[in-house]
Structure 1
Amino acid sequence: MASQSNPIIDISKEILLQANVLSECLQRHSITVPKDLAPGSVSQLWTTEVQEIHVLRSTIMSLTKRLDNLLEGPHGILHEYVSVNWEHGALYALLEWKVFPSIPLDGTPIHASQLAGITGLPSAKLLRLCRLVATAGILNEPAEGCFAHTAISEELVKDEGFRSWVGFQLFETRVASAHLSDSLLESRDFWGDDGSAFKHAWGVPMYAWHKLHPEKGARFAQAMESVSQSLDPGDGMIIDHLARFAASEPSKIKLMVIEVAGNGAFCRRIASFFPFIQFEVQNPSLEVLEQGESLLGAELRNSVRFRRRDTFAMRNTEEIELEKLGSNEFVRTSFLIRNTLWCMKDSEVTRLLQTFVPVLQSDAGASLLICDLVSPAWATFEPHLERIYRRRDVTLMTMHNAKQRTAKEWTDLFLGAHPQYQVRLRHQLRSLDCPA
């Protein structure tokens, strides 16, 4: 009689098999893996874009999650799922009281009583906060009551932008999410910040609340800047697109990139890498333009300019010719819309897309490049990755009463704006690259 299969053994064997394959792949790419997460630990395993490594990591993580679930069972899974709220509260308290930068970066442990004297927190309470956070590996407690950095807490000290993002997630979004259920009684439809859980929690929409609390607004701005440069590959996809243009076009052809409803941060960041590109930042807000221009270094003033313009005003060929600054070289125009359409109603998106039609019809070299969020089709990814996207779906609903559109919904919007739009979709985990 054949023995019954044991799923715990089967999954464990598959994890070992895939781990061996990953190990061989890492060796081929000369990538080493740290033994632990001690301060200073780095590895390309965490950052590489090699597709084979990415797939293997995803497969192993999915398998380990399946094994965890089998070992924990329903009660254990739910208990762990909801109990992290207390850990998040502890981590936020340590961030707000600047505990992490008070711990020596050289790896020397510091006793909780000494840490309390530096931060002003009561020693007994600080001990409990640090000890809980240490169980997640964020801090290390090498001796009773003594705490030292790990690579994780070190990251929170050294990367100010990422620390701001973590703080935003632990405060604004955590409070807003507690009001999601009640907000559904007030607004059954998407779109409009008045129907958001954030407004239900704080009394005003998120951007208005940040204006009322400038210290939190500054943190949010810093957090978003950090995300755009590290976590979200959308900007990288735009840069790759511009680099492909540079490689494929004759040197006499220049490119003008017009960022619609921009603030200048992205153009400032990449202008020095693309001397063949003239950037123009358009925004209806004079305040946004003046702030963006004030941050522009002298070396970029000939490459990046700012212009006040109604976002929904129709664009025409004559206007674009004027924007080319009378250049004697042949200039192609590429309109750029970054992370703007996700919070617009369908009717507003359609109206904006229609403003580009006259130029795109009359100038075969012109293009429209859109970088925005896409909700992937069901079962596209392994469950642990699927969770990230579904979490973002609910994040937008909670914070702005908005939704991530699917690839089909984006395509339908373009074709609904004008039947001659030709849509090319390029996906890289979190972004939509949509030249027309």
Structure 2
Amino acid sequence: MSDCHNNGGSNKNLFEGQALLYKHLFSFFTPVCLKLAVKLGIPTIIHNHGKPITLSELLSALHLPPSKACFLPRLMRFLAHNGLFNIVRIHYDNAEQEAEEKETHYALTSASELLVEGSENCFSPMIKFVVQPTMIDAWIRMDEWIYGEENSVFEIAYGVNSLWDFFASNNEQMNIFNEALASDSQMMNLALGACNSVFEGIESIVDVGGGNGATGKIISEAYPKFQYIVFDLPSVVANLHGIGNLSYVGGDMFKSIPEADAILLKWVLHDWNDDYCIKILKNCKESIVRKGKGGKIIIIDVVINEEEDKYETTQVKLLLDMTMAASHNAKERTEKEWKKLFIETGFNRYKISPLFGFRSLIELYII
């Protein structure tokens, strides 16, 4: 047996380790290619085709320059390997279709269905927000941030204290961000069926950090009997107009929150460190106490649970945790960390229900 063979066997773990490093080193190409697929409109083309599409049919629809046509099979192979499209083998009964039979067909997966433009739950705005130089140029400064006194990578990249300060001075980016959050909120429709008991007995609710009201419109239409207030910074709600039981109020959640039977915090607390979260929760509690009917705080956020979650779910949560650290000096939390926040805010009764994919529904009760 040759020395080369012996050395290869003994160093197998090192080669596997190197492969893993290469995988992570170039993994940034996944969102880059995902954004490219969205920009080309590939999910929409496949959807409109009405059945699995061949590469030649897709190429015909895309009108790519001849010099780039050979790239399409490689792009689709890569995205399919990462679960964004399905490779479909179609078998025909007659010889005339033999040539087409040999062609690879692609179909949508549950992920790429969310990227069909104009669909009810279209998630494309979030892709466009996250995968852009403005965000990436800041996030890659984490190595500078970890050794410095800056609050976030945005302070290093753009000279502002936080992502929120960056938005305050850049209306275009604020609009892109709000559209991204609105696309995320569309999934609320899918969860409402499991939320009926959550809203029982509520006559009024304040959606703190509710942005342009995407979530508010969905919930207020589903529950037309109670008053729904979208509460956000005056600059966010300035040109927004309520309708029916939905209204908009501008203000600062760190100062005061309009009174209501319940407060909704959808993906808000993960943007802030513990001290700020305690301030927000105390103001929420005061709002409900002023109403004088008991009530509760409804939180939709991530709860890290590495022991019970699937590997892929934990991966998403931990990636978001890194993003929150770099962007806001904040974090995603375990149940133990959530409980610590609640106790410090004066709550001793809560309920966690994993109803929103990688996010959970947390109900904080005021007795």
- In the superposition, the TM-score normalised over structure 2's length comes to 0.70
Correspondences of 1:330-345 after superposition (within 5 Å)? 333-345=261-273
Distance verdict in 2 for CA 1:307–1:94, change over 3 Å? closer
Structure 1, residues 386-416: CA drift from partner, whole Å, max 9, x if none? 2222112112123332211332333222322
**Could you list the runs of 5+ residues in structure 2 that have no partner in the other structure?**
1-12, 90-98
Distance 2:232 2:182 in 1: 18
**Contact 1:91/1:133 (<8 A) preserved:** no
CA offset digits 1:359-410 (Å, max 9, x no partner): 6557663223131434424433343332222112112123332211332333
- Alignment partners' CA distance in 2, 1:165 and 1:109: 27
CA 1:215 to 1:377, structure 2 compared with 1: closer, same or farther past 3 Å?
Answer: same
Distance 1:171 1:218 in 2: 14
Give the one of 113, 138, 157 matched to 2:116.
157
Q: Say if 1:82 and 1:109 are closer, same or farther in 2 by CA, change over 3 A.
A: same
Q: Which amino acid aligns with 2:28?
A: N
Task: Return the letter of the residue paired with 1:290.
Answer: A
Distance 1:95 1:417 in 2: 43
Provide, for residues 327-364 of structure 1, a one-character-per-residue CA deviation record: whole Å limited to 9, x for no partner: xxxxxx22333322222333333233333555655766
- Is the 8 Å Cα contact of residues 205 and 264 (structure 2) preserved in structure 1? yes
Kindly state the Cα deviation for residue 94 of structure 1 after the two structures are TM-superposed. Answer: 4.3
Structure 1 unaligned segments of length 5 or more: list them. 1-69, 188-193, 324-332
CA deviation vs aligned residue, 1:26-74 (integer Å, no higher than 9, x gap) = xxxxxxxxxxxxxxxxxxxxxxxxxxxxxxxxxxxxxxxxxxxx9x943
Is the aligned partner of 1:226 residue 2:183?
yes
Matched, 1:394 2:353: no
Is 1:236 aligned to residue 184 of structure 2? no
Q: Which residue in 2 is equivalent to 1:257? A: 205
- What whole-Å deviation, never above 9, does each CA across 1:265-323 have from its counterpart, x for those lacking one? 322222122132122233451x3333332xx4xxx42x1233344434457xxx85xx8
Task: State the alpha-carbon separation in 1 of the partners of residues 207 and 113 from structure 2.
Answer: 36
Q: Count the aligned residue pairs.
A: 325
Equivalent residue for 2:131? 170
| In structure 2, distance between residues paired with 1:210 and 1:366 | 36
> What amino acid is the match of 1:259?
D
1: CA distance between counterparts of 2:124 and 2:186? Answer: 14
Assess, with a 3 A threshold, how the Cα gap between structure 1 residues 283 and 131 changes in structure 2: closer, same or farther. closer
- Is the CA contact 1:359–1:366 (under 8 Å) kept in the aligned structure 2? no
Establish whether residue 134 from structure 1 lines up as the match of residue 95 from structure 2: no
Contact 2:270 2:301 in 1 (8 A): yes
Native 8 Å contact 1:265 1:292 kept in 2 = no
Deviation at 1:424, TM superposition (A): 0.6
Of 302, 306, 319 in structure 1, the residue corresponding to residue 248 of structure 2 is: 306
Aligned to 2:49: 105
Task: State the AA in 2 paired with 1:105.
Answer: H
What is the deviation of 1:157? 3.4
Deviates more, 1:81-90 or 1:95-104: 95-104
Which is bigger in relative contact order (C-alpha 8 A, separation at least 6)?
1
Q: 1:292 aligns with which of 240, 259, 263?
A: 240
TM-score using structure 1 length: 0.60
SS of residue in 2 equivalent to 1:136: helix
Aligned pair in 2 of structure 1 residues 80, 270: CA closer, same or farther (>3 Å)? Answer: same
Q: CA RMSD of the aligned region, Å?
A: 4.1
Q: 1:270 aligns with which of 219, 228, 247?
A: 219
Q: Which residue of 1 aligns with 2:23?
A: 80
Closer, same or farther: CA 218–312 of 1 in aligned 2, 3 Å: closer
